C-alpha cells in the first residue's frame, strides 16, 4: 500500500517545453539525415545487388504486400513510407513501382490499433466497440486499394497527378531540385560517410552500413519525435477532443485527426487514443471514422518532409501520391452516406463475429497482416 | 473548433475537471439549502423546479466529468491514473449528495414540515453546519489543505455519531410514526450527506486504495 495521496504522488520529471521543442527539431534533423543516408547508401550499392533485392516489387501486388509487411514489421507507416521515398530518391525503385508499396504501407499501419483493441478482449461490449473502431480503418484502406490500385495501373491517375503537382512545386523530374532541407542535412550525412570510410568501409559494405545507419536514424528519430510531440501537444489534443468530437461535424473531426497526426507525427497514436474512447462508448464509430480518415492524410506529411530532404522530384512525387491516394479515398467514400456506411457496417459485422468467437479476431489479424502479405511476397516475387 | 487546437489551453485537462467538480459542489450546496428550507417550513412548490433542475445538472456534470476523465486517460496514458481514479470516485459521492438532497426535498413534497417541531432550532443549526461543510469541502478540495481535511474528517465523525444517536433514539421513542419517521429519515439523509462529503475530502489525505473508509465506524477503518 502507498502512503501518498493521489494528489501528491510522484510525477514523472518533464522537460521544459522549449527544451522539448528543441529536442524535437534535433530529432527531425536526425530523421532527415537518416533519409539522406538511406538514399545515399542505396546509390553506393552495386546495381546487381540492388536489382536482386528489389526485383520482385515491379509486380504491383508484390509491391503492395512488401509495403504492408514492412509497415507491420516496423509498426509505423511513417518509417516505411520514408524508406520508400529514400529508395525512389536513390533510383533503386521507380515511381510506378513505389506507388503500390505506398498503398501497402497505408494498409499495414492499422495493425497497431487492431492489436490495441485486443486489450479489451475480456469485456464483450467494450471489445466489440474497440475492435470495430480499429478495423473500420482497415476496411477503408482496403476499399481504397481495391479502387485505386487498378485505376492507377490502368491510367496512372495518382502518379501523373502527383507529378503535375511536383513540377509546380519543385520543378521538373529530370534532375534534382535545390532542396534547402537536403542542403541542411548534407553535412551530418557526409560526416557519417567519412566516418565509415575512415573505418575502412568501401563499396557495397559502405553502402550497406549507410543504409543501416540511415534506418536506425529514421526509426529512432521518429520514435522519439512521436513520444515528445505527444507530450508537447497532449493538452491541446485533450481539449480538441473534448470540444469537437461528438459535437462537431465529420469535416471538423477529419480536420482534427489530420492536425493531431501532423502534430504527433503518427497516425497510430491518433487512432490509438480513439480506440479506448470508442471502447468505453464515449465516442461512437461514426465519430471515430472521420478522425481516422484525417489521420490517414496527416501521416503523409512525414513522407513529404523526407522527400523534400532528398532533393529528388521523383521522391516528392511518390510522397504526393501518398497524400493524393488518401484524399481520393475520402472524396470517393465519405461524402455519399451509402458509401460512407460500407466500412462502418463491415467493421461492425466483423466485430460482432469476433465478439462471438475471439479466435476470429486473432485469425483476422494474423491472416490480414502476416499470412496474406507474406504469402504474396514469397509467391509473386 | 479546429483553430482552437492552435491556441494553448488556459487550463490543463485535470484543472478543468477540478473546476467542474467545484461546480458540482456549489450545485450540491444549493439543492441542500433549498431542500432544508422547504422541509423546515419554507416554500415548497416555488422551489421544486429549481431543485429538480439543479439535481439534473449535478447528474449531467458527473457524466461530463467521467467523459473528460476517459479522454484525459486516453490522451495522457497512465501518468495521472491515481488522480483520474480519485475524481471518478469523488463525482460519485457528489452525485449521491445531490440525490440525498432531493430525498430531503421529497419529504417536503410529501407534506413534511418541521416548522412546529420542538427540536427545530437544533435542526436549523445542523442545517447551517452541514451547508457550510459542503462549501468547506469545496475549499479543501481546491486548496488540498491536509490539516483542514483532517479537522473536517474529525468533526464529520462526530456529526455521524450524533446522527446515528438521533436515529436510534427515534427508533426506540414512543412518538407517533407521523412525527418520528420523517425526522428519522431526515437525520439518516443528513448522515449520508456527511458521510459522502467525508469520502470526498478523504482524497486529500488518503492514498487511493484507502479512500472512502468513512461509512463505517472508526474501528473498522484501516
Best probe of the B interface among A231, A235, A237, A291, by most B CBs < 10 A, is: A235
Query: Does residue A144 come out as left (phi exceeding 0), alpha (psi in the -120 to 50 range) or beta?
Result: alpha
Query: In B, which residues are within 8 Å of A11 by CB distance?
Result: 79
Query: In B, which residues are within 8 Å of A4 by CB distance?
Result: 207
In angstroms, the CA B17 to CA A250 distance is 26
Cβ pair B209:A2 closer than 8 A: yes
In angstroms, the CA A315 to CA A321 distance is 10
Whether the per-residue pLDDT at B154 is higher than 60: the answer is: yes
Looking at residue A8, its pLDDT comes to: 64
Tell me the pTM.
0.83
Residue B3 lies in a domain: no
Q: Which residue has the higher pLDDT, A381 or A152?
A: A152
CB distance A189 to A211 below 8 Å: no
Looking at residue A12, its pLDDT comes to: 59
CB distance B97 to B32 below 8 Å: yes
DSSP 8-state code for residue B4: G
At residue A186, the 3 state secondary structure works out as: helix
- For A51, the grid coordinates are 536489382
Q: In A76-170, at which residue ranges do the beta strands (DSSP E only) sit?
A: none
Q: A276-293, pLDDT tens digit by residue?
A: 889 988 889 998 999 999
Residue B8 lies in a domain: no
Query: In A, which residues are within 8 Å of B204 by CB distance?
Result: 5, 7
Nearest to A256 among B2, B9, B206 (CB): B2
Q: A354-378, pLDDT tens digit by residue?
A: 999 999 999 999 999 999 998 988 8
Looking at residue A48, its pLDDT comes to: 67
CB distance A306 to A125 below 8 Å: no
| Structural domain boundaries, residue B80 | 13-220
CA angle B211, B217, B218 (to 5 degrees): 75
Confidence of residue A116 (pLDDT cuts 50, 70, 90): confident
Look over chain B and give the mean of its residue pLDDT values, rounded to a whole number. Answer: 90
Residue B178 lies in a domain: yes
Q: B55-100, pLDDT tens digit by residue?
A: 999 999 999 999 999 999 988 888 888 889 999 999 999 999 999 9
Looking at residue A1, its pLDDT comes to: 45
Residue B1 lies in a domain: no
Looking at residue A174, its pLDDT comes to: 54
Lowest mean pLDDT among A76-85, A234-243, A255-264, B149-158: A234-243
Best probe of the A interface among B71, B80, B209, B210, by most A CBs < 10 A, is: B71
Cβ pair A241:B75 closer than 8 A: yes
Query: In B, which residues are within 8 Å of A2 by CB distance?
Result: 207-209
Contact A234/B at CB under 8 A: yes
Residue of B nearest to A5 (CA): B207
Among A95, A51, A120, A65, which residue's Cα sits nearest to residue A318?
Answer: A95
Looking at residue B23, its pLDDT comes to: 96
Whether the per-residue pLDDT at B12 is higher than 80: the answer is: no
Query: In B, which residues are within 8 Å of A287 by CB distance?
Result: none
Residue B207 lies in a domain: yes
Looking at residue A173, its pLDDT comes to: 53
Q: Which residue has the higher pLDDT, B117 or B187?
A: B187
Whether the per-residue pLDDT at A63 is higher than 70: the answer is: yes
Residue B126 lies in a domain: yes
CB distance B71 to A242 below 8 Å: yes
Contact A14/B at CB under 8 A: no
* For range A151-170, the mean pLDDT: 92
Looking at residue B149, its pLDDT comes to: 94
Contact A269/B at CB under 8 A: no
CATH code at position B50: 1.20.58.220
Contact B72/A at CB under 8 A: yes
Looking at residue A345, its pLDDT comes to: 96
Confidence of residue A122 (pLDDT cuts 50, 70, 90): confident
Write the burial class of residue A284 (CB in 10 Å: 0-12 exposed, 13-18 middle, 19+ buried).
Answer: middle
Residue of A nearest to B83 (CA): A6
Lowest mean pLDDT among A110-119, A124-133, B136-145: A110-119
Looking at residue B4, its pLDDT comes to: 65
Looking at residue A10, its pLDDT comes to: 55
Residue B158 lies in a domain: yes
Residue B189 lies in a domain: yes
Whether the per-residue pLDDT at A21 is higher than 50: the answer is: yes
Total count of domains within chain B: 1
Q: A163-215, pLDDT tens digit by residue?
A: 999 998 887 555 667 777 777 888 898 999 999 999 988 888 898 999 999 99
Confidence of residue B37 (pLDDT cuts 50, 70, 90): very high
Residue of A nearest to B90 (CA): A6
Whether the per-residue pLDDT at A113 is higher than 90: the answer is: no
Lowest mean pLDDT among A32-36, A43-47, A77-81, B212-216: B212-216
Among B208, B97, B31, B37, which residue's Cα sits nearest to residue A5?
Answer: B208
- Dihedral pair phi/psi, residue A177, rounded to 5°: -100, 165
Whether the per-residue pLDDT at B222 is higher than 60: the answer is: no
Looking at residue B3, its pLDDT comes to: 66
Confidence of residue A58 (pLDDT cuts 50, 70, 90): confident
Looking at residue A221, its pLDDT comes to: 92
Contact B150/A at CB under 8 A: no
Contact A200/B at CB under 8 A: no
* For range A135-146, the mean pLDDT: 95
Whether the per-residue pLDDT at A120 is higher than 70: the answer is: yes
Amino acid at each position: 500500500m502507498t502512503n501518498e495521496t493521489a494528489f501528491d504522488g510522484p510525477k514523472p520529471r518533464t522537460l521544459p517545453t522549449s527544451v522539448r521543442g528543441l529536442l524535437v527539431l534535433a530529432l527531425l534533423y536526425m530523421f532527415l539525415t537518416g533519409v539522406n543516408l538511406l538514399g545515399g547508401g542505396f546509390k553506393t550499392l552495386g546495381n546487381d545487388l540492388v536489382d536482386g533485392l528489389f526485383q520482385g516489387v515491379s509486380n504491383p501486388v508484390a509491391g503492395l504486400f512488401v509495403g504492408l509487411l514492412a509497415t507491420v514489421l516496423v509498426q509505423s507507416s511513417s518509417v516505411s513510407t520514408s524508406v520508400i521515398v529514400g529508395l525512389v530518391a536513390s533510383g533503386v525503385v521507380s515511381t510506378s513501382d513505389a506507388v503500390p508499396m505506398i498503398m501497402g504501407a497505408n494498409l499495414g499501419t492499422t495493425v497497431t490499433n487492431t492489436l490495441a483493441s485486443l486489450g479489451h478482449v475480456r469485456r464483450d461490449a467494450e471489445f466489440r466497440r474497440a475492435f470495430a473502431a480499429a478495423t473500420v480503418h482497415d476496411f477503408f484502406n482496403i476499399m481504397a486499394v481495391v479502387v485505386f490500385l487498378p485505376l492507377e495501373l490502368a491510367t496512372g491517375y495518382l502518379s501523373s497527378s502527383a507529378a503535375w503537382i511536383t513540377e509546380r512545386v519543385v520543378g521538373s523530374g529530370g534532375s534534382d531540385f535545390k532542396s534547402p532541407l537536403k542542403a541542411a542535412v548534407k553535412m551530418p550525412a557526409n560526416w557519417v560517410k567519412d566516418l565509415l570510410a575512415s573505418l575502412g568501409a568501401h563499396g557495397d559494405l559502405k553502402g550497406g552500413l549507410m543504409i543501416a545507419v540511415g534506418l536506425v536514424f529514421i526509426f529512432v528519430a521518429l520514435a522519439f519525435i512521436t513520444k515528445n510531440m505527444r507530450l508537447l501537444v497532449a493538452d491541446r489534443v485533450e481539449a480538441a477532443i473534448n470540444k469537437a468530437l461528438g459535437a462537431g461535424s465529420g469535416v471538423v473531426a477529419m480536420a482534427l485527426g489530420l492536425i493531431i497526426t501532423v502534430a504527433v507525427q503518427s497516425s497510430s497514436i491518433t487512432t490509438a487514443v480513439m480506440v479506448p474512447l470508442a471502447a468505453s462508448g464515449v465516442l461512437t464509430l461514426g465519430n471515430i471514422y472521420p478522425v481516422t480518415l484525417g489521420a490517414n492524410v496527416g501521416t503523409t506529411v512525414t513522407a513529404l518532409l523526407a522527400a523534400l530532404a532528398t532533393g529528388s522530384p521523383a521522391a516528392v512525387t511518390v510522397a504526393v501520391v501518398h497524400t493524393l491516394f488518401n484524399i481520393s479515398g475520402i472524396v470517393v467514400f465519405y461524402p455519399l452516406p451509402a458509401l460512407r456506411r460500407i466500412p462502418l457496417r463491415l467493421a461492425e459485422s466483423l466485430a460482432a463475429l469476433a465478439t462471438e468467437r475471439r479466435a476470429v479476431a486473432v485469425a483476422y489479424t494474423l491472416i490480414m497482416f502476416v499470412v496474406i502479405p507474406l504469402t504474396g511476397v514469397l509467391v509473386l516475387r | 473548433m479546429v483553430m482552437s487546437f492552435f491556441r494553448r489551453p488556459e487550463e490543463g485537462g485535470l484543472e478543468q475537471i477540478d473546476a467542474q467538480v467545484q461546480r458540482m459542489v456549489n450545485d450540491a450546496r444549493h439543492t441542500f439549502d433549498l431542500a432544508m428550507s422547504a422541509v423546515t417550513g419554507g416554500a415548497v412548490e416555488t422551489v421544486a423546479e429549481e431543485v429538480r433542475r439543479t439535481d439534473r445538472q449535478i447528474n449531467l456534470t458527473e457524466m461530463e466529468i467521467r467523459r473528460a476523465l476517459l479522454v484525459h486517460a486516453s490522451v495522457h496514458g497512465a501518468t495521472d491514473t491515481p488522480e483520474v481514479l480519485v475524481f471518478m470516485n469523488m463525482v460519485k459521492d457528489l452525485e449521491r449528495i445531490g440525490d440525498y438532497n432531493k430525498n430531503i426535498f421529497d419529504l417536503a413534497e410529501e407534506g413534511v414540515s418541521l416548522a412546529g417541531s420542538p427540536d427545530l432550532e437544533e435542526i436549523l443549526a445542523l442545517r447551517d453546519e452541514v451547508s457550510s461543510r459542503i462549501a468547506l469541502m469545496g475549499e479543501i478540495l481546491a486548496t488540498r489543505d491536509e490539516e483542514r481535511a483532517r479537522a473536517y474528517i474529525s468533526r464529520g465523525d462526530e456529526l455521524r455519531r450524533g446522527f446515528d444517536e438521533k436515529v436510534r433514539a427515534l427508533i426506540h421513542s414512543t412518538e407517533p410514526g407521523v412525527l418520528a419517521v420523517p425526522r428519522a429519515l431526515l437525520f439518516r439523509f443528513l448522515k449520508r450527506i456527511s458521510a459522502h462529503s467525508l469520502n470526498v475530502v478523504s482524497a486529500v489525505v488518503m492514498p487511493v486504495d484507502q479512500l472512502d473508509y468513512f461509512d463505517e465506524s472508526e474501528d473498522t477503518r484501516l
